[in-house]
Structure 1
Amino acid sequence: MSGAHARGRTRSAKSAKSAKSAKTAEPARSSRLAKSSGPATSGTSGTSGTSGLATEISASLVVFLVALPLCIGVAVASGVRPELGIISGVIGGLVVGAVRGSTLQVSGPAAGLAALVAETVAEHGVAVLAVIVLFAGLLQIVLGLIRLGRMFQAISIAVVQGMLAGIGLPLMFSQLYPMADAKAPGTPIENMAGVPDLTARILTDRQAMIATLLGAVTIVLSFVWKKVPGPLGKIPAALVAVALGCVVAALPGVDVRTLQVGNLLASVQVPGAEEFGALAEPAVLTSVVTFTVIASAESLFTAAAVDRMHSGPRTRYNTELIAQGAGNTLAGLVGALPVTAVVARSSANVQAGAKTRLSRTLHGLWLLAFALLLPQVLALIPISVLAGVLVHSGWKLLAPGEFPKMWRQDRGEFAVMTLTMLVIVATALLEGVLIGLAAGILLAALRMSQTVIRQHSEGDTAQVVMAGNATFLRLPQVIEALEAAAASGRPRIRLDLTGVTHLDHACRNQVEEFTAQQRGLGTRVELLMPGPAADKTGTAARAPRAGNGLTGGTAASPGTGSTSGSGLTAWDAVSPGVGSTAGSGPAGGGGFTAGLGLTAGVAVPDDLRAEAAALSAASPTPGAEWFYLDTRPLPDDYAGRPPLVG
């Protein structure tokens, strides 16, 4: 038998050695095969590389076609020259796109910031906007370096959806005016209120009606073009709308406003000392924080959404935040628009089959070449068409279908979402987001403070039992239950808080004050408080034996007690977790159980005796807390009373 084992070990050793040799030889064979295959292998690799490069270039062209009208449209909606939008698109491609933060997400000027940019430009001017964008970018870099990129994920989805809806709704109404070749009145409320007058103008002005129809056709195409079958449906809807608009604008008798694009390089304006001096104004500093938070949140929310669209490398949030900061820093230095990640361009990049950062980087190069070499083509684009593209973007940001969906899923979150949107529309983006966050935190706090409070009376005892999380938010219910127990007129009150998982200072203080007050009035109050694993010293050793009891005030030594039936064992602990320390009970060393008491002369069941024996052998737990505040001697007639609990 021993020899068989030895032979088995020998064969196993040989097998292992053979396997090891095979593993060692495999790379060598692979290397020889690679050498012998020579040109064939190289040709295959080259074909694969060429195919991948062609896919990346094709995807970059698709992204370019989607980005071009959006860059120009966002600039127009922001109240700045169109070339600034193109510059931001170039920076989003060549600078942000080259950094290894996210693989497929595309950055550029975003429709979500258009309303905020327009408000900032109207209040401070384009030059000060550049300083705000510059310092927002620097702050983004700092946040990324200290690894706070994922912090922006710790925001309620209801607040995020409310923020997007609050951006989308004003964007839609503000673009209704450029869609009719008119000027928007100003604030979102004013834009909404001015729609009837705008409608009357459209109906009486032929050219305004033509422009509005172009915008309306653009909106319809944006919704239905994706359903067009075949290769034609893969062409971006915005590009189709722009081409159609250019054709209509060139027809005789049509006089709609078209895009006027100046020299791209001449549009670069570095902010000076006067603009940097504006940082001393609190409103400008507030704008820096606002742009930082919103641009970062939008970029990282987009990153999370884009990661769900593909199975490639996941986003490195801190690195992506640094990349966005670098893009905004450069955008601020040249006086361009702020840069964020954009869902429309990113999804187009994924759907076009891109796998690497090359496609999003090249799209910036195509934007730069087009603006420098073919600016006259941009002058053919009707402004109403670009406004129609942005109305469609605003509708997607608003996402009306999310409201009934949120209502069905969670009405509390629905309230937070709606409140965030309404406050943004009525005031500004920062105020709306802050109020939304506060509402979300309050909702979470209320839901975490789920306290079950039951007040009832049994015999001569009024009982209050609490479970769950007792925080100051539930203090009114706690006070109501305590007052009801006091008003019951019972000579005894029992407060059982052992089921409470969290008891904050406010609730604890209220319970203890109530206990002291009632004892001062002569009411016996038994208070069982929550605590960690109980100290087992002085519990099991003083557990009652069958028929034995303890007289009030007599300390029990291990295994001893008073004569049968002479006292109560109601306070003797027989289970771990709750009880008093030695000397705090009426038996001078007896412990207390939460909800387990035995009257004198009642035999202890075998399972309790076994538990007591196990506890007597256990070692104490350091730092344990036992709470029992009623240390008065037991009344003489208590032996005949029923147990408090069973």
Structure 2
Amino acid sequence: MFKYIKNDLPASVVVFFVALPLCLGIALASGAPLFSGLIAGIVGGIVVGALSGSQLGVSGPAAGLAAIVLTAIGTLGGFENFLVAVVLGGIIQILFGVLKGGIIAYYFPSSVIKGMLTGIGIIIILKQIPHFFGYDADPEGDQAFFQVDGENTFSEILVALNNISPGATLIAVIALAILILWDKVLTKKSKIFQLIQGPLVAVVLGILYFIFTQGNSNWGISPEHLVQVPVLESFANFGSLFQFPNFSVIGNPEIWITAFTIALVASLETLLCVEATDKLDPYKRTTPANRELFAQGVGNSISGLLGGLPITQVIVRSSANIQSGGRTKLAAIVHGFLLLISVLLIPRLLNMIPLSVLAAVLFIVGFKLAKPSLFKTMYQLGWKQFVPFIVTVVGLVFTDLLIGIALGLAVGIVVILIKSYQNSHFLHIEDKGNGENMIKMTLAEEVTFINKGAILKELDRLPENSYLELDVRKTRYLDNDIIEILEDFSGKAKSKNINIKLISERGVVENPESYIKFFNLRPKQTA
């Protein structure tokens, strides 16, 4: 794990700076104590990072669960009661892993996963525009289209442009310029620029800017535009930041419903992010999905016991890790320790980091996920790839992660059904020259009720006095609905003087009396 420490340490610093405001912002959006978001980030980094089989995935509190958490805290009668559901949800996830529920990860089309990554990239950019200009009414980490302050993603940008903070915007522009220069030029000049990451330089510059412009009414940065980490007055008060589960409510059915909801949604989000992260991995490693569910379950149980939010693997932090050169799980683990150490030792220094600088860092992350060239590539692959891709992108931007994925998956299934309908058979027509048509129809390997319409249409179009050669030698599954169509067609064939030759592995039959008997089937059975 320490073989690539020179790659993982700089990457962990970048992930730390990305994760810190997200942990706090998601806690705020969830209606939970701010420290609960930091607990989830620390546990997600250290515990889940150590147990996971993912080399590049980073776990922590997820924006996709914020609405569920916000509702559940009110429904269950308080945060301590909600924590019981988090612990139980973790145990259910462990069971999912043991029962090999991770197999669901392999049933999402590549076009949908690429659409998810692109949509997340666009959302990151859109959501960070207000923070870039120093307008922070909406908490960091809120990814839903309709936001907690009553605006939507696009109206929030318009409001932000009417409320620009000059100081926050200036340092954000400078930070963005540094990041682009670092990425495109300096890293190619010397190894020192590969070891010291651009985001770290941008953050340090942001802190210095805040210090030197304090008190300046025009160019200074006010406290609401800074990171806001809870500050301990002394280590003796450390325990006061924690809240613990109230297990006396474990018999409440609502607790168990919430626990199962958390387990299901967190597992699905994790598996989607695992699939996406593996696609981004330049070394094409594969994450064991069942082990990931087990690791997430252990992490959620521990997070709930310590007073933290639910955890999933998250694509924003994972992609930041990959783009910063992370190679192994050490980057995720170290980022967790950095969260812990910094909260304990330097919270006041962290509270000098402008949110606009972190927005500039996330701009780069978002752009690398949603490169314009990807749209062109997906379009060139044809409509079967492009349509599910673009539906997923639009769904994510205008709704949320799970709804966007569901829309893309639904469109992908429709595409499969259309192609299955079209590819149920192969039809070839020969003219013998004496006015008699020879029609050769070869059925596909699997023919189901979905193919009824296509086959029935072709059979009805056969001209009178023709000769049909029906080849089922390649067919391994023939639905009873199709056999009934053939059975009904045999009567029409006689009236239209159509001779039928049925070719199968069992031999050749001229004008079979009964297709059901031929395939050794009783009515309403399938082959």
Alpha-carbon spacing, 1:316–1:283, altered in 2? closer, same or farther (3 Å) = closer
Tell me the residue number matched to 1:421. Answer: 393
Deviation at 1:158, TM superposition (A): 0.9
Query: Which stretches in structure 2 are left out of the alignment for 5+ residues?
Result: 147-151, 233-237, 521-527
Contact 2:125 2:363 in 1 (8 A): yes
CA deviations 1:350-373 (Å, max 9, x no partner) are x4676xx66654443343222212
Shift of 1:86: 3.4
- Correspondent of 1:152 among 77, 82, 105: 105
Equivalent of residue 261 in structure 1, options 229, 232, 235: 229
Matched, 1:270 2:244: yes
Cα distance 1:512–1:67, how it changes in 2: closer, same or farther (>3 A)?
A: same
CA distance in 1 between counterparts of 2:255 and 2:289 reads 31
Q: Which amino acid aligns with 2:19?
A: C
Residues 221-271 of structure 1, C-alpha deviation per residue, up to 9 Å, x if partnerless?
444422313202432222222111111112231033222211465443234
Please name the residue that 2:525 is paired with.
none
TM-superposed deviation, 1:74: 1.3
Residue number in structure 2 paired with 1:412: 384
Q: Does 1:211 align with 2:162?
A: no
- The answer to whether the 8 Å contact 2:41/2:59 transfers is yes
Counterpart in the other structure of 2:22: 74
The answer on whether the counterparts of 1:144 and 1:318 sit within 8 Å (CA) in structure 2 is: yes
SS at 1:368 equivalent: helix
Alignment of 1:55-204 (within 5 A): 61-80=9-28, 83-99=35-51, 101-102=53-54, 104-109=55-60, 113-114=62-63, 116-125=64-73, 127=79, 130=83, 133-179=86-132, 180-184=134-138, 187-188=144-145, 190-202=152-164
Distance 1:303 1:133 in 2: 27
1:484 paired with 2:461, answer yes
Q: Please state how far the C-alpha of 1:413 moved relative to its aligned partner.
A: 1.2
- Corresponding residue of 2:271: 296
Structure 1, unaligned runs of 5 or more = 1-51, 203-207, 535-576, 586-623, 628-646
Residue pairs, 1:8-19, within 5 angstroms:
none
Matches within 5 A, 1:369-518: 369-449=341-421, 450=423, 451-454=425-428, 459=434, 461=436, 463-469=438-444, 470-485=447-462, 488=463, 490-491=464-465, 494-498=468-472, 501=475, 503-518=478-493
State the TM-score, normalized to the length of structure 1: 0.64
Of structures 1 and 2, the larger Rg is shown by 1
The TM-score normalised by the length of structure 2 is 0.76
1:225 aligns with 2:225: no
- 2:508 equivalent among 573, 578, 601: 578
Distance 1:386 1:320, change over 3 A: same
Cα distance in 1 between the residues matched to 2:331 and 2:356: 29
Partner SS state of residue 212, structure 2:
coil
Q: Secondary structure at the match of 2:163?
A: helix
Task: Tell which has more relative contact order, 1 or 2 (C-alpha 8 A, sep 6+).
Answer: 2
Q: 1:238 aligns with which of 199, 209, 220?
A: 199
Deviations 1:248-296 (A, max 9, x none): 1122310332222114654432343698658369788545422220123
Contact 1:57 1:362 in 2 (8 A): no
**Farther off after superposition, 213-222 or 63-72:** 213-222
Tell me which moved more, 247-256 or 119-128.
119-128
Q: Please say if residues 463 and 496 of structure 1, whose CA atoms lie closer than 8 Å, have aligned partners that are also in contact.
A: no
Change (3 A) 1:191 1:358: closer
Once the 2 structures are TM-superposed, how far is the Cα of residue 155 of structure 1 from its aligned partner?
Answer: 1.6
Instruction: After superposing the two structures, state which structure 1 stretch, 272-281 or 385-394, moved more.
Output: 272-281
Residue 343 in structure 1 maps to residue 343 in structure 2: no
Q: CA deviation at 1:76?
A: 4.0
CA gap of 1:141–1:529, structure 2 versus 1, over 3 A, is farther
Contact 2:469/2:500 (8 A) holds in 1: yes
Q: Report SS of the residue matched to 2:461.
A: helix
Q: Distance in 2 between matches of 1:213 and 1:124?
A: 40
Q: Quick one: structure 1 residues 270 and 508, their matched pair in 2 at CA, closer, same or farther if it must change by over 3 Å?
A: same
Between the aligned partners of 1:461 and 1:327, the Cα distance in structure 2 is: 73
Encode CA deviations 1:527-554: one digit per residue, 9 max, x unaligned.
33353x32xxxxxxxxxxxxxxxxxxxx
Q: Distance in 2 between matches of 1:301 and 1:94?
A: 21
2:72–2:258 Cα contact (<8 Å) kept:
no
Cα RMSD (Å): 3.7
Q: Percent identity, please.
A: 23
